[in-house]
A and B are shown apart, each in its own frame.
Chain A
Amino acid sequence: MSVDEAVRRHTLLARDGDEQLLGARLVARRKPGQWISAALALLVVAGIVKSLVTNPRYHWDVVGAFFLRPSILDGLVLTLWLTAAVLISSYLLGIVLAVMRLSTNPVLSSVSAVYIWFFRSVPPLLQLLFWFQMASLYPQISLGIPFLEPFVTIETAHLFSGLLAAFVGLTFDIAAFAAEIIRGGLVSVEAGQSEAAKALGLSKARIFWRIVLPQAMPAIIPASGNLLIGLLKGTSIVSVIAVQDLLYSVQLIYAQNYLVIPLLLVATIWYLILVTVLSTIQFFVERYYARGKGARTGFWRLWRGQLPLVPRSSPRRDVEVI
């Protein structure tokens, strides 16, 4: 029944002015506060940019001259592959620790808990110095069963170079945090998923790799992105034990020419570039693991959507409902 008909039959009450109300245009509320705060923020940004450009002591010409120096690029490469190596080894160790932590075996669970407690408590720099001094604590490392004749014996003085100390120290540190992130993700997967997989006749390993872990990933990725970025920057502590990473290569140069600020800027810009690349990769990885969770969001659309002043072109629909 149409509105007109309903009014005629007196099932709806007609009132004067309804016609105008129906024809009226809807105008959104104005938000002057948003414009004022945006203007203030832009003022601050303009001040910073002006100072960056006009202050001659930044020596942008020097930044440009040293930006692609081979020794700095070598440091950059070392930073990158140290990050990658630590990432891979610490996540493999982290998965093992997380699974141990969730195990019904009380010994395994406790060992994992103590590991996580210990390595989350010790600052990575302190650990690094410790591994570097390994030779004075254990001059030899022997592999074998306690109290019996060892199979292999290694002199630690030759073993722990600065780089290996950095790799081991950072791996042990990151693995403790990775284990907690992974455990959180695994716990977030409903028990019904493993049960359904068991009922289908999937083996334990298959259930973990194909059913549980992929569903844990959306919970694991964002925190892992943070951890990875922290790791990338954290590798700069190896400069303390004279490993030539990005930061240390820069320090070596300004120790000679005293152009401290511009060379620190070189390192800063490189770190900015690296983290930007990592964040972009994280975005696409997150989107991949969000499959099955509704409409995909494009990179630029998401970015625009975060601007406060631009109204959304359409109401946001995260989940498709049928």
Chain B
Amino acid sequence: MSEPLVRVRGLSKQFGANTVLDGIDLDVARGSVAVVLGPSGSGKSTLLRTVNHLEKPDAGFVEVDGEIIGYRREGAQLRELSDRAVTRQRSRIGMVFQQFNLFPHKTALENVLEGQLAAGVRRRAAETRGRELLDRVGLADKERSYPRQMSGGQQQRVAIARALAVEPELMLFDEPTSALDPEMVGEVLGVMKDLARTGMTMIVVTHEIGFAREVADQVVFLDDGRLVEAGPPGDVLVSPTHERARAFLSAVL
């Protein structure tokens, strides 16, 4: 097996006295999809947010494509990188949020342009790519719409296009369908399945067990900040060994 794209080692994070992540180890192979399951408050979102340095770890590290995220190794020390260097690292990692977080004062196309323009792409080229991406998520006719004029499912698809626009090598999805009406979940999962098929490396926090079963190469289960179960969906979803995972799966299935 080749070197994994994402390596998480000994990752720990505390908010005050509350331990949110407790020594997480995880590998995500290039081109594979990892689905993170677990009850709310188990640290799933924090794990994801540490991968692009929206949260700083208290111990351990995250490595993407051989580069430690947010830090530079200096002898026995890990020194935090400058804002500029962190910004550069983030531009190779796309992220999709539960609440979409589209920019409400910008149209769908302008939302998709923003990351490209920041990366120095010429406006003309950025627009061409932006339209391609909106077309790819099935929203070619919505380029002039503002987020508030679109349904939740449409907004989330624009958010996916926006994250893809900077050509990331890794995509993070933080409960992308949890804020959606049930009838719109399918369209967003559809776009994500297509994306997985193109060979994008993805880490997905979700409660959609069906998606995990169908798309995931690896399912990990978090409980109380610890990674208690990891493996192919056929194993983890069908015969989980950890008691908490068994209880969770029998409740959601």
**Nearest CB in chain B: distance from A6 CB, A:** 28
Tell yes or no: B124 within 8 A of A by CB. no
Interchain CB contact under 8 A, B118 and A206? yes
Cβ–Cβ contact B114 & A210, under 8 A: yes
Docked-complex contact A197 and B150, CB < 8 angstroms: no
How many Å lie between the Cα of A180 and that of B163 in the bound state?
34
* Any B CB within 8 A of the CB of A145: no
Shortest CB–CB separation between residue A132 and chain B, in angstroms? 44
**Which positions 288-321 of chain A face chain B at CB distance < 8 Å?**
289, 291-294, 319-320
- Bound complex: CA A200 to CA B111 (Å): 10
| A320: nearest chain-B partner, CB-CB | B149
Residues from chain B with a CB closer than 8 A to the CB of A199 are 52, 54, 90, 93-95, 97, 163, 172
**B83 in contact (CB, < 8 A):** yes
Task: Give the shortest distance, in Å, between A74 (CB) and chain B (any CB).
Answer: 42
How far apart sit A192 and B88, CA to CA, in the bound complex (Å)?
20
CB-based contact A292/B104 at 8 Å: yes
The residue of chain A having its C-beta at the shortest distance from the C-beta of B107 within the complex is A292
Task: Report A-chain residues with C-beta under 8 Å of the C-beta of B83.
Answer: 203-204
Q: Is B54's CB under 8 angstroms from A292's CB? A: no
CB pair A292 B105 closer than 8 Å? yes
Known: A214-B105, A322-B151. A292 touches B146 (CB 8 A): yes
Cα–Cα distance between A196 and B99 once the two chains are bound (Å): 10
Inter-subunit contact A200/B163 (CB<8 Å): yes
The one of A196, A202, A289, A292 in contact with B101, judged by C-beta atoms closer than 8 angstroms, is A196
Given known A-B contacts A192-B97, A199-B54, A202-B118, A211 and B148 have beta carbons under 8 A apart: no
Q: What string of 1s and 0s marks CB contacts (under 8 Å) between A195-222 and chain B? A: 1111111111010001100110000000
Nearest-neighbor residue (CB-CB) of B154 within chain A: A322
Chain A positions within 8 Å of B146 at CB level: 291-293
Inter-chain contacts of A201 with B (CB < 8 A): 87-88, 90-92, 115, 118-119, 166
Q: Which of A199, A215, A291, A292 has the most CB of B within 10 A?
A: A199
Which chain A residues border B94 with CB–CB below 8 Å? Answer: 199
Q: Tell me the residues in window 92-141 of chain B with beta carbons closer than 8 Å to chain A beta carbons.
A: 92-95, 97, 99, 101-107, 114-115, 118-119
The proximity string for B residues 58-102 relative to A, scoring 1 for CB distances below 8 Å and 0 otherwise, is 000000000000000000000000011001101111110101011
On chain B, the residues within 8 Å of A206 by CB distance are 118
A293 to B105 alpha-carbon distance, docked (Å): 8
Nearest B-chain residue to A218, judged by Cβ: B105
Inter-chain contact A197/B114, CB cutoff 8 Å: yes
CB distance from A193 to the nearest CB of B (A): 6
Known contacts: A200-B162, A201-B90, A322-B149. The answer to whether A193 contacts B115 by CB under 8 A is no
- Distance in angstroms between the alpha carbons of A147 and B52 in the assembled complex: 47
Residues of B within 8 A of A215 (CB): 103-105
Shortest distance between the CB of A290 and any CB in chain B (Å): 9
Asked if A203 contacts B104 (CB within 8 A), the reply is: no
**By the criterion CB–CB under 8 Å, are A292 and B97 in contact?**
no
- Among candidates B105, B115, B172, residue contacting A200 with C-beta atoms closer than 8 Å: B115
Q: Would B148 and A193 count as touching, CB distance under 8 A?
A: no
CB distance from B20 to the nearest CB of A (A): 17
The answer to whether B54 and A195 have CB atoms under 8 Å apart is: yes
Contacting pair A202 B87 (CB below 8 A): yes
Complex CA gap A203/B83 in Å reads 8
Write the B141-178 contact mask toward A (1 if CB under 8 angstroms, else 0): 00000111111000000010011001000001000000
**With A199-B94, A202-B87, A206-B118: A294-B148 Cβ-Cβ less than 8 Å:** yes
Q: Output the least CB separation between A292 and chain B (Å).
A: 4
Chain B residues near A192 (CB-CB < 8 A): 97, 99, 101
Report A-chain residues with C-beta under 8 Å of the C-beta of B91: 200-201
Q: Judging by beta carbons under 8 Å apart, are A291 and B87 in contact?
A: no
Residue of A196, A200, A211, A320 contacting most chain B CB atoms (<10 Å): A200
A128 to B171, CA, bound (A): 58
CB distance from B168 to the nearest CB of A (A): 9
Contact check, B106 vs A200: say whether CB atoms are below 8 A apart: no
CB distance from B65 to the nearest CB of A (A): 15
Task: Give Cα A190 to B97, complex, Å.
Answer: 13
A15 vs B77: C-alpha distance when bound (angstroms): 86
Q: Are A193 and B103 in contact (CB under 8 A)?
A: yes
A295 (CB) vs chain B CBs: closest residue: B149
Q: Who on chain A is nearest to B114 by CB?
A: A200
Give A215 to B147 CA distance when docked, in angstroms: 13
**A196 engages B87 (CB within 8 Å):** no
In the assembled complex, 30 residue pairs joining A and B whose CB atoms fall closer than 8 Å, in A order, are: A190-B101, A192-B97, A192-B99, A195-B97, A195-B101, A196-B97, A196-B102, A196-B103, A197-B103, A198-B54, A199-B93, A199-B94, A199-B95, A199-B163, A200-B91, A200-B115, A200-B166, A201-B87, A201-B166, A202-B87, A202-B115, A203-B87, A203-B118, A210-B114, A211-B103, A293-B148, A294-B148, A319-B148, A320-B149, A322-B150
- Return the 4 tightest CB-CB contacts between A and B, nearest first: A201-B91, A196-B101, A200-B115, A292-B146
- Assuming A199-B97, A293-B146, what are 9 further A-B pairs, CB within 8 angstroms? A192-B97, A192-B99, A193-B103, A198-B90, A200-B163, A201-B119, A203-B83, A294-B149, A319-B148
